[in-house]
Amino acid sequence: MRHIIAAAALLALPLFAAGPDGRASPPEPAECKSAFGQTACGYDCVAAYGKVECASVPWGACKAAYGKIVCGPDGGAGWDRGRRRGATIPKARCLASGGHIACGYGCKAAFGKVACSDRPDGACEAAYGKIVCSRGGPSVDRRTRRAPKQECKAAFGKIACGYGCVAAFGEVKCAQAPGGVCQAAYGKIVCSDRARHGRHRGHRGERQECKSAFGKTACGCGCVAAYGQVRCARQPGGVCQAAYGEITCSGD
């Protein structure tokens, strides 16, 4: 029943994926499949091992292997926001290895495990006996209607995924918003703040920057170092100015 309800709710989604020529092509239509005395409705439906399963979203995928069927990724609030912004969400893929199955993006198989990111811009990294993938709903650049590609970095026995990743001082850190940056200085890594970065809301602002001075590091836009302080504006296009012994930034 949950498959039927999910399919009915998703039939009207105005979602488009890029075709081979880079242009938007119509999304895969919902379908219903009957087998083994069961019926399921959704996308990329598969019948095997006495079961019928379907992905819950048009960009989802399913795979049968090792006596089971796995579908993914699931939709969520983040996906709904991306869809409303007209995001181009590519088709997910499934990977089966070592008795395990995972569906999503940037899939990796290693150490007897399989894992995929649930983000179309996501990435996975296998190191130190584990696989780490970026998670969460997509951050969409409205200019391109695509989610910029993430990266993963492994070092010092740790793995991190995001944007502008940096490894130093025994740490690995990444910014969590498109256009974000990180900088290593004075024994630590500082990354731009994801909460106030607005490019994914349609701003055509510049890439963020990080500035280090006076034993401090700050990341954002229009950074200024003066009077023993380092400050950056937290919104794309923001500016800062040093005067009268203090630094003032737009958005303060």
Nearest alpha-carbon partner for 182 in 170, 197, 196, 193: 193
- Position 33 pLDDT exceeds 50: yes
Give residue 233's domain range: 162-252
DSSP string computed for 38-104? EEEEEEEEEEETTEEEEESSTT-EEEEETTEEEEE----HHHHHHHHTT-B-PPPEEEEETTEEEEE
Lowest mean pLDDT among 7-16, 83-92, 116-125, 160-169: 7-16
Cα separation, 96 vs 107, whole angstroms: 10
Does 144 share its domain with 173? no
Degrees to nearest 5, angle at CA 151 with 147 and 189? 115
Q: What percent of the chain shows pLDDT beyond 90?
A: 58
Confidence check: pLDDT of 193 > 90: no
pLDDT of residue 196: 45
The residue ranking higher by pLDDT, 7 or 47, is 47
Task: Write down the pLDDT at residue 146.
Answer: 61
pLDDT tens digits for range 218-230: 999 999 999 999 9
Domain co-membership, 209 together with 114: no
Q: Would residue 155 count as lying in a domain?
A: no
In a domain, 156, yes or no: no
Q: Considering the domain boundaries, does residue 154 fall inside one?
A: no
Q: Looking at the predicted structure, is the pLDDT value of residue 206 above 80?
A: no
Residue type, 20: P
The confidence score (pLDDT) of residue 4 equals: 41
pTM, whole model, 2 decimals? 0.67
Residue 129 and residue 17 in one domain: yes
Any domain includes 135: yes
Domains: count for the chain: 2
Q: How does residue 194 score in pLDDT terms, banded at 50, 70 and 90?
A: low
Note the pLDDT of residue 42: 96
Residue 183 in domain: yes
Contacts of 117 (CB under 8 A, 6+ apart): 104, 105, 106, 107, 123, 124, 133, 134, 135, 150, 161
Q: Which of 126, 149, 172 is the last residue of a domain?
A: 149
What is the per-residue pLDDT for 27?
61
Question: Is 214 part of a structural domain of the chain?
Answer: yes
How far apart are alpha carbons 187 and 201 in whole angstroms? Answer: 33
Asked, for residue 115, whether it belongs to a domain, the answer is: yes
